[in-house]
Amino acid sequence: MFAVSVRPASPADLPAPSVKLTEGWHCLHLYYRIDQRAWLDLAPAERIRGCEIVSHLLDPDRPGAPARLQTSVVSGHKGDLALMLMDADPLLLDGIRQGIRSSPLGSVLILAWSFVSLTEVSEYVPTVDQYAERLRTEGVSPEDAAYQAKVNAYRQRLPMMNRQRLMPDFPAWPATCFYPMNKIRDPHANWYAESFSYRSKLMAEHATSGIKFAGRVSQLITASTGLDDWEWGVTLWARNPADLKDIVYTMRFDEASARYAEFGPFYVSYIMPVDEALAHLQLT
């Protein structure tokens, strides 16, 4: 048995310490509830000033705004106002939270729940070579013209798909849903004890189910392992709330979900500009 000596990386070989990401974005979901007594206790001038400050903070087009900022009103008792924030700098995102807290509405908008995560390209997204191998496994011959056409199309599509995973654009659809999830470690169904090839096969099946909802639902998976109490966050946007129900129901029959998934609370909300959201919540 020979010991292998590995030279520690020199500080000169490492990037400078920073909280900013060099690839992808930080993601912060915030869910607020309204303290009605605190609202009634505010003087009229404080109400007006508080709404002006919050409206400015949550304007996605203002100078210094996060790369992505979306406001929505929550359906049900879990909250009233929802924010989804994304940027390479996590302190820019936290600045939104602190700005609301320190405004006259800081006693009115009470943070009920939050979720911290990062965008990522999943390890289960196949490279071009892995995609080509999958085609061969499915019986498509490399000599077949369709084989090269599919591989070339995937090669052209992959950079755009990965960019959307790392720095996503939000669809202009009215309904959104967020929930956290884990892959379970049950002794009879331990995701982390399965081989990578088996896990990849199950995730490919899962993705195929989701593709059926193209044009109706858009999905973003963000990673929270080591950052929050769950391992991933799932954000869905839909043309219609019924589409949210349909895709979650359909995909729960996939083995990756039916056997290995554990889900947290679901937050459903309806997207609107901040001024419309404040008016809907009767804070103007």
Cβ atoms of 162 and 121 within 8 Å: the answer is yes
Q: What are the beta bridge partners of residue 156?
A: none
Of 153, 169, 272, the residue nearest 280 (C-alpha): 272
E strands, the chain, in order: 26-34, 68-74, 81-87, 109-119, 175-183, 185-186, 189-190, 217-223, 232-238, 261-263, 267-271
Q: Which residues of 93-102 are buried (b: 16+ CB within 10 A; e: fewer)?
A: bebbbeebee
Two structure tokens written together for 14: 């490492």
Rg (CA), the chain: 22
What are the beta bridge partners of residue 221?
A: 234
What is the C-alpha to C-alpha distance for residues 162 and 166, in angstroms, rounded to an integer? 6
Write out the catalytic residue numbers.
179
Q: What is the amino acid identity at position 268?
A: V
Instruction: Tell me which residue has tokens 């006693």.
Output: 107
